[in-house]
Structure 1
Amino acid sequence: SDNHPEYPPEYQEINRAFAAIEENFEKLSDRSVLIDFTLEEDDYNPVFYGLEAFRDSLAELLPEAEARTIYQLLDEQASKQLGNIYRDVGRRYILSFTIMAATAAAVPLPFATMPVLTALQVSMVGLLGNLYGQTISPSQAGGVVSVIGGGFVAQAVGRELVKFIPGFGSAIAASWAAAYTWALGESACVYFGDLMGGKKPDPEKIQGVMQEAFESAKERFKS
């Protein structure tokens, strides 16, 4: 019996033709995959050449396409209500991580809790991403945290330094960690909500949400 070559095939003629097809259909498709259907009696192995690549591409693209279609079909008011439902569910996660962050930050040792807080916040963002249909790795979640909360890093260092003040700094640090974690979660919901709706996240809008949520949370979690 004959066998197909390793996938993807490395033949100049095929690659040239495939590149031309991709270019011609660039505006009509998100991705192109090489496949070859052969009859079982042709005795080629595998019969469906390129099946794994085709399956993996569908798995990646279909959820995004479905979400985009839903958002396009819904009117603005319905889309907003759908977003609020996701946000309400997300806040259950956010509150749990906020409490854990405040507890960790209350430890009166400068900089000892920074790695713990970072790990908590990365885990929270990863879970929120899953809620919104975005499967992301811990390193990708860390990247989202950096994008959303970058402007607050200097403040975080400052809050760790005030722990040197006996009986005073730890309370401030715990309050700040709670407010920051809550604001980060709220901003992550906006970030992932945009992605789910097929939109490119707007950094200025997300930073605005972060600042507003942080100020509100500071009052809520004031020591």
Structure 2
Amino acid sequence: MKGGVLKRNLAIFDFCETLVSKQTADDFVYFYLSSNNKVFKKIVFKSLKSKFISILSRLNIYKPSKSTYLMLLKGEKREDLNAVGRIYAEELIREYLCQNLFNVLKSHSDNGDEIVILSGGYDLYLKYCWPNLIDNIICTKISFSDDLCDGSIQGLDCLGYNKITLLNKVICNDLSIYKETYFYTDHVSDLPLLSIVSNPVVVNTNRSNLWAKERGFKIVEQK
């Protein structure tokens, strides 16, 4: 919390396909490889995203994990990743911003609410997104050793139930200390947190939101 002062309300925002209209973790890896002309690693990345691998994934034979793509950054310098992270953040805001959700975030900020981004995206670029508006960023962090990327995740991947664990660790383990709590997300994997905030809000994307309608959650348009 800014200045350690408890605010009246807590507004939590997912990032990918909520504040921006794309998934960003794997995309950042490719963006970095392209920015630094890592030709061989780009070929590996594209092969992992190929239709053949997609078929294997649907058949539950082989599905590349988030960590599989992250390994392509192993050995890269922290300073280089941070520099590209800033550029990537600028592109996301310029090209993929979900204006409707950003307006909601700005409204919460203007109201004096505590604003948190809670995301499976990486800290390397999320920290450059609206630092003047965001009180806290809780996200998946990339591991480094001697300022070189390990190609692995540091601690918990900020997805599903892990979001609650990390939220409890960083913010508080009792949401009742806030007058109102809001959580904005697009995905059913966030159901654990949606189920415990006082104002669960689901963003309408191209996926089915029947699960949200069945539970009576408020649904808002992405853009």
Q: What's the TM-score once normalised by structure 2's chain length?
A: 0.23
> What TM-score, normalized to structure 1?
0.23
Decide which structure has greater helix share: 1
Which of the pair has more CA radius of gyration?
Answer: 1
Higher relative contact order (CA 8 A, sep 6+): 2
